[in-house]
Amino acid sequence: MLHTPGNTPPPEEIHRRPLTDLFFSLGSSDTGLTTTEAQSRLARIGPNELRVRKDTPEFVKFLREFKNFFAILLIVGGLLALLADYLDPGQGNFYIACALFGVVVLNSTFTYLQERQSEKIMESFQKMLPAMVTVLRDGTVGAVDAKTLVPGDIITLAEGDRVPADCRLIEANRLTADLSSLTGESEPQPLDPSSSDDVLLQSHNMLFSGSLVQSGAAKAIVCRTGMSTEIGNIVELTKATGEVETPIRRELKYFIKIISGIAIGLGVSFFLVSVAIGRGELASLIFAIGIIVANVPEGLLPTVTLALTMASKRMARKNALIKNLESVETLGSTTVICSDKTGTLTQNRLTVTSIVIGTDSFSVSDPALPAHARFAETRRVMALCNNAHRTEDGFVGDATEGAMLLYATDAKCDEPLQDFKRVAEEPFNSTVKRMITLCERPDDGTFEAYLKGAPEVVLKMCDRVYLNGDTVPLTTARRHKMIDQYRALAAQGQRGLALAIQPTPDAHIPGDGYIFVAIVGMIDPPRPEVPDAIARCHSAGIRVVMMTGDYGLTAETIGRQIGLIQKQGTVIHGGELAEMDERQLARVLDDPELIFARISPAQKLRIVQALQAQGEVVTVTGDGVNDAPALKNADMGVAMGLRGTDVAKEASNMVLMDDNFATIVAAVEEGRTIFDNIKKFIAYILTSNVPQILPFVAYVLLDIPLPLTIVLILAIDLGTDIVPALGLGAEKPETDVMHKPPRKRSERLLTRNLLFMSYCIVGVIQAAAGFFTYFVILYAGEWQWGDQLASSDPLYRTAITGFFASIIICQIADVIICRTRRQSILSAGVFSNRLVWLGIATESALLALIAYVPAFNTFFGTAPLEAWHLLLSVPFAVLILLGDELRRVFVRRENPFVLRWLTW
């Protein structure tokens, strides 16, 4: 295939083509590009950056937040108030309009800021690229901005450098690179210009954008930049992965739709009734505005946002960092948790626990082990077929290699391992599942090859075995014996690696003919708190699925130790999963005890999507760049704070600061609690709608002075109700919150029973209290039915203040009963929620200001109340308290009538 010089060759060719051909196709040379050519290519190809298309200006995104029904209703109400002020100035309608518009702006700002957070995921990809890079241009080495790199540039890299683009190696000196964020390989990979593979990501003559040089130095030619790189492909995949709408957002949309429908229906209906009975269009318009404002809980959305913020702060204290506020509640809806094993379910502290040499099995604490005839060879392979480095406080490198290095260097043996010189290496990767190093012996200058890897792979490369101090042929029976010993280790939860050795006459790595030396058993013990957390998930009706890159038997053993598998269980390997179609996978996912072993990040995404297709709400953990699509696609993406990449953290909804599964379960409890609490303060807020609506109905139908003004309605919705509602948002979980199954997707925040309790029972009692107080005050002032009172009349002002005070007093009782749905308020602790009592104090103080401070009297059109006025509504408040306590008694006794109609 011919290429025009300067064009990027197809991706499938850049790692396999001879360097001379690659230089030609990229239009480059040993002296690099000229500055002029580099600038020309930059203008044609574009900068080396991960671009995220922003087709929509920020102000347009902000304006979109004004399109929900609440916002539209309040805007329409504000416009109608402006119209009323224009037609009849001086009646206070202008201030009502300003208040309504202010509420809309406040709500929309909260929502916009929340939406803006989701865009940060793309910004994290930019952090994967370095700012400056050393490049060879015009035959001279210099530092340039990484964004100006183009295909054909020759760059130099040293230890600690972040790779700026996809590159083909030209020269390398003991080069290793951390490719884990792209390939999933946990170990730093040794790279060599002469080493290639059919698969691009497994080709060790390549460096990829975003990877990190761990050691050594290299010279490389840039092949692909920006969005053409491998990490650019992941950016595109992440962008193509649609946002999953959170359950709370769906519920709030439904709630807004229903309440807005009620507001519109009542507003239009009573406007027509008012006009029909001769009230006049303007008076009827003001009346319609009042109905709309009374129906819309203006403070709901800010209250939800603030309640979610408080919940996220509580979770942060439990090492769970919530990035998207709505995700707090999503956790409570979780039906399946797909969890990594290493570091999440286990402690991520591998230690060598046993060694099998030949047929002899030893615990590492056995004093007979160092005396074994082949212990020196075992120790040699453990230390020399290893890329970890010993440090003062442990090691640097892969956990598996570090565990073996620590044991080998601490073991009692006189052989000086530091004198062995490594001359060649075939690195480990997940395809070949083995690593080989070739070292020159210090005593006689001969060479030895050291092999480690998966037992089944190592055994295929061996034809002899050390047995009873002798070297004997590795017969079929002996192979089966070795496999049985490995399985015995795996059954104990140990990770087994096989070791082999072969003397060679020259510096050439042999492909077979090795002598089988030993099997090393290592264990990463389960976290002690995980079994209890798994048990809590089971009692809460949540399935836990383990998804790991480890071996199936090891994963199954850990699963049994932590209680994830209690009966038979099913273990599916990555190879088996690859051969399944979607129907077969769906059948497998029905198994209640399930482990996926040796799976890739792409398979993790497939499992998540298959679970979601079955209607599950899925929480999934991940830590690498290649986990970003699965994390974003999950209903709840959870990244690891200690070992996760920046991209994984940005793609997720939550970051575990301690990488601990038990933290997820604690967060699930918080999520369930916040859903219950949002429901509680919705019930609280809606209850006051009835005593706000009925005054306007009575005003039209009964021809009485309006018992409650729009300004006082806003004082309730935006003043007295907010802090008590926040107190309900901070309510502690009820005792049975983790003993119930996850709520169904069909379960609503706004249910028939909640509306019935709020509107038809508690709301009616509050309205009765308000009217009772209102009419007692009027009649005490010698008012006669049919008399019209001016808005400035002291009697009228006192009466509406009494109506307002009655609502506040009954709302105090309402906030107390809303604290629990099933538990007795006495068992929950009457004074246990300080924020609720702060809310009660706040609304009492606001009532006192509105009723007794002259400036507030002038603004709100109120007048001071006498003490006996306040006592008029107290019996109604007591009725609310005692009546709901009785209701909860019947709920706990599971009375059928109460469960059907009075449980919300």
pLDDT at 426 over 50: yes
Start-end of H helices in 616-762? 628-633, 646-651, 661-687, 689-701, 710-715, 722-729, 752-755
Assigned token pair, 674? 């916040």
Sequential DSSP letters for 847-896: HHHHHH-HHHHHHHT-----HHHHHTTHHHHHHHHHHHHHHHHHHHTT-H
Summarize pLDDT for 660-689 with one digit per residue, the tens.
888 988 888 888 888 888 889 899 999 999
pLDDT of residue 401: 87
pLDDT of residue 794: 95
pLDDT of residue 4: 45
Structure-model confidence comparison of residues 157 and 903, the more confident one: 157
307-313-315-318 Cα dihedral, nearest 10 degrees: -150
- Count each helix (H run) and each strand (E run) in the chain, helices first: 36, 26
Longest CA–CA separation in the chain, Å: 120
Bridge-based pairing of strands 206-207 and 336-339 is: unpaired
| Average pLDDT value for residue range 49-75 | 74
Q: Which residues contact 531 (CB under 8 A, 6 or more apart)?
A: 561, 562, 563
Summarize pLDDT for 380-421 with one digit per residue, the tens.
999 999 988 888 878 877 778 889 999 999 887 778 888 899
Any idea what DSSP says for residue 245? P
Buried b or exposed e, range 247-286, using 16+ CB within 10 angstroms:
bbeebbeebbeebbebbbebbeebbeebbeeebeeebbbb
Instruction: Using alpha carbons only, give the angle 731, 660, 677 rounded to the nearest 5 degrees.
Output: 15
| Average pLDDT value for residue range 809-835 | 92
Summarize pLDDT for 688-716 with one digit per residue, the tens.
999 999 998 898 888 899 999 888 988 89
Q: Which of 521, 525, 502 is nearest to 512 (CA)?
A: 502
Summarize pLDDT for 440-480 with one digit per residue, the tens.
998 888 999 999 998 999 999 999 999 887 899 999 999 99
Q: How confident is the model at residue 181 (pLDDT cuts 50, 70, 90)?
A: low
pLDDT of residue 125: 42
Assigned token pair, 371? 């005396």
pLDDT of residue 834: 92
Cα–Cα distances (Å) from 574 to 29, 200, 457, 556, in that order, read 43, 20, 17, 14
pLDDT of residue 128: 43
Give percent of the chain above pLDDT 90.
38
Cα–Cα distances (Å) from 708 to 289, 323, 489, 697, 774, in that order, read 13, 42, 77, 11, 10
- Please name the amino acid found at residue 361: S
pLDDT at 120 over 70: no
Cα–Cα distances (Å) from 69 to 72, 286, 296, 562, in that order, read 5, 20, 10, 48
pLDDT of residue 646: 59
Assigned token pair, 439? 């070292």
Least confident of 534-543, 767-776, 805-814: 534-543
pLDDT at 91 over 60: yes
| Average pLDDT value for residue range 507-526 | 92
Length of the chain: 904
| Average pLDDT value for residue range 765-769 | 97
Q: SS3 of 445, please?
A: coil
| Average pLDDT value for residue range 809-833 | 92
Determine the Cα–Cα distance for residues 417 and 478; give it in Å rounded to an integer. Answer: 30
Q: Which of 385, 253, 149 is nearest to 749 (CA)?
A: 253
Phi, psi angles (nearest 5°) of residue 17: -75, 145
- Catalytically active residues, by annotation: 340
pLDDT of residue 126: 43
Q: Which residues contact 255 (CB under 8 A, 6 or more apart)?
A: 300, 682, 748, 749, 750
Determine the Cα–Cα distance for residues 192 and 204; give it in Å rounded to an integer. Answer: 6
Q: Which of 665, 753, 823, 730 is nearest to 332 (CA)?
A: 665
Long-range contacts, stretch 786-789, CB < 8 angstroms, 24+ apart: 786/703, 788/705, 789/705
pLDDT of residue 105: 86
pLDDT of residue 801: 97
Determine the Cα–Cα distance for residues 536 and 168; give it in Å rounded to an integer. Answer: 51
Sequential DSSP letters for 428-442: --TTT-EEEEEEE-T
pLDDT of residue 3: 42
pLDDT at 875 over 70: yes
Phi, psi angles (nearest 5°) of residue 836: -60, -45
Least confident of 169-173, 334-338, 483-487, 645-649: 645-649
Summarize pLDDT for 575-626 with one digit per residue, the tens.
899 999 999 999 999 999 999 998 877 788 899 999 999 999 999 987 766 6
The answer to whether 233 touches 165, Cβ cutoff 8 Å, is no
Residue with structure tokens 């089988």?
516
pLDDT at 106 over 80: no
Buried b or exposed e, range 685-701, using 16+ CB within 10 angstroms:
bbbbbbbbbbbbbbbbe
Determine the Cα–Cα distance for residues 850 and 718; give it in Å rounded to an integer. Answer: 14
Assigned token pair, 667? 């967060």
Start-end of H helices in 327-396? 327-333, 375-384
Summarize pLDDT for 635-649 with one digit per residue, the tens.
899 988 877 765 677
- What mean pLDDT is reported for the chain? 85
Q: Which residues contact 727 (CB under 8 A, 6 or more apart)?
A: 815, 833, 835, 836, 837, 838, 839
Least confident of 370-374, 393-397, 693-697, 837-841: 393-397
SS3 content of the chain, % helix, strand, coil (to 5): 50, 15, 35
pLDDT of residue 806: 97
Any idea what DSSP says for residue 269? H
Give the H or E element holding residue 60: helix 58-64
Structure-model confidence comparison of residues 178 and 423, the more confident one: 423
Assigned token pair, 304? 């939800």
pLDDT of residue 425: 85
Q: Which of 11, 245, 357 is nearest to 745 (CA)?
A: 245
pLDDT of residue 630: 80
Phi, psi angles (nearest 5°) of residue 217: -145, 160
Assigned token pair, 781? 């002032």
Determine the Cα–Cα distance for residues 852 and 843; give it in Å rounded to an integer. Answer: 14
pLDDT at 241 over 70: no
The answer to whether 234 touches 166, Cβ cutoff 8 Å, is no
| Average pLDDT value for residue range 424-434 | 75
The answer to whether 32 touches 135, Cβ cutoff 8 Å, is yes
